[in-house]
């Protein structure tokens, strides 16, 4: 229980990046450019997929939803970074932190399951091409996407419930640039049993299965590709999932680096650049990766 002399915190302080004015100007310009490219790239991808008949297929249906989730993730995090860097405003109200925990938890898990659905789509296309139209029907794709959002919503509500049970004394400093639930739990002065239970349960029931779907799907895909006799056939099959491989490698790599690798530094200040990778950089890169590597997307842009 919190001490009797403890004043309940109404605001959190975000550590940010640097106090040097020249560095802050550089960071502001970099994050502003990243945010603008993210907005234009993902909105352009969504518009292109909806407008071009060439892209009316399950893979691009998932990609359009991934672009929407990337847009929302960036809008949840990056504007607050820009305000903090430009104005030096490090404080965030308790209600604002609650909202950020909810929205970030929602879109993070939604993206995990969308990437898993895209991996399953590539598995069916490469390993069972004759059954592709039957298995990946519009109804199946719609259920996969809807399920991804519902699981994300369940995670966001669970994380918010866990945070609402926490008590914080005085001024609490979060050693990141956004409200991360795991750091908030470590800063709490109250009983964190419920919050830790929710965090571990959601990680086990939501994070691990989505990652396993990706791993199992690509294990089967690689096995099938290696069994193709011609080098041209192997290259063609691999090219259909190369963009998705780059996306999941960047996304899951940053998450594993931040949350699963043990840290000697308990402040976790070194993790902020890994957090930048999956909260700001990955949402910007995804539409660029699919635009630059995918011939169908290039052709759709040309026709549009």
- Residue 260 — pLDDT band, cuts 50, 70, 90? low
- The pLDDT, as a whole number, for residue 145 is 96
The predicted model scores a pTM of: 0.88
d(CA 175, CA 191): 21
Q: What are the tens digits of pLDDT across the range 141-166?
A: 999 999 999 999 999 999 888 888 88
Give CA angle at 72 (286, 270), nearest 5°.
Answer: 70
The secondary structure element, H or E, covering residue 93 is strand 91-93
According to the model, what pLDDT value does residue 154 have? 93
Burial (CB count within 10 angstroms: exposed 0-12, middle 13-18, buried 19+), residue 195: buried
Answer yes or no: are the C-beta atoms of 109 and 202 closer than 8 Å: yes
**What pLDDT does 171 receive?**
64
Q: Left, alpha or beta for 89 (phi > 0: left; psi -120 to 50: alpha)?
A: beta
CA distance 84 to 78: 10
Is residue 151 a contact partner of residue 159, using CB atoms and an 8 Å limit? no
- Using the structure block, give the residue that is written with the tokens 């571990």: 200
Q: Which domains does the chain have, with CATH numbers?
A: 11-295 (1.20.1070.10)
Chain segment 231-245, per-residue pLDDT in tens: 877 787 777 777 788
Backbone φ and ψ of 294, nearest 5°: -105, 120
- pLDDT given at position 271: 66
Band of the pLDDT at 179, cuts 50, 70, 90? confident
Cα end-to-end distance, the chain, whole Å: 62
Tell me the per-residue pLDDT of 191-245, one tens digit each, with 9 for 90 and over: 888 888 888 888 888 888 898 999 999 999 989 888 888 787 778 777 777 778 8
Residue 199: CB atoms within 10 A of its CB come to 21
| Residue pair 154/119 in contact by the 8 Å Cβ criterion | no
Separation CA 145–CA 111 (nearest Å): 10
The share of the chain scoring above pLDDT 70, in percent, equals 91
Compute the distance between CA of residue 187 and CA of residue 168 in angstroms, rounded to an integer.
Answer: 7
**Better-predicted residue by pLDDT, 129 or 250:** 129
Element spanning 174, H or E: strand 172-174
Return the pLDDT at 266. Answer: 43
The phi and psi torsions of 169 (rounded to 5 degrees) equal -100, 135
Average confidence (pLDDT) over 15-44: 86
Measured between alpha carbons, how far is 91 from 174 in angstroms, rounded to an integer? 10
């Amino acid at each position: 229980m919190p001490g009797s002399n403890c004043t309940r915190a109404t605001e959190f302080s975000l550590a940010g990046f640097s106090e040097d004015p020249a560095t802050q100007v550089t960071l502001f310009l970099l994050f502003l450019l990243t945010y603008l490219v993210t907005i234009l790239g993902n909105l352009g991808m969504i518009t292109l997929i909806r407008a071009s008949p060439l892209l009316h297929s399950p893979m691009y249906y998932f990609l359009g939803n991934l672009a929407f989730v990337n847009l929302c993730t960036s809008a949840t995090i990056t504007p607050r970074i820009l305000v903090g860097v430009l104005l030096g405003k490090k404080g965030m109200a308790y209600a604002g932190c609650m909202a950020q925990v909810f929205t970030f938890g929602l879109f993070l898990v939604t993206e995990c399951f969308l990437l898993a659905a895209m991996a399953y789509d590539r598995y069916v296309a490469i390993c069972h091409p004759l059954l592709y139209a039957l298995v990946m029907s519009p109804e199946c794709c719609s259920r996969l996407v809807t399920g991804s959002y519902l699981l994300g919503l369940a995670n966001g509500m669970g994380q918010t419930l866990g945070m609402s049970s926490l008590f914080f004394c005085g001024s609490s400093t979060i050693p990141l640039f956004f409200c991360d639930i795991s750091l908030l739990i470590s800063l709490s002065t109250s009983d964190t049993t419920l919050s830790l239970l929710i965090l571990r349960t959601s990680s086990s029931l939501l994070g691990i299965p989505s990652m396993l779907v990706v791993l199992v799907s690509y294990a089967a895909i690689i096995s099938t590709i290696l069994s193709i006799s011609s080098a041209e056939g192997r290259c063609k099959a691999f090219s259909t999932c190369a963009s998705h491989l780059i996306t999941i490698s960047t996304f899951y790599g940053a998450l594993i680096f931040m949350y699963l690798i043990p840290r000697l530094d308990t402040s976790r200040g070194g993790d902020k650049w890994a957090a930048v990778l999956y909260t700001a950089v990955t949402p910007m890169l995804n539409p660029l990766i699919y635009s630059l590597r995918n011939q169908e997307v290039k052709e759709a842009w040309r026709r549009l």
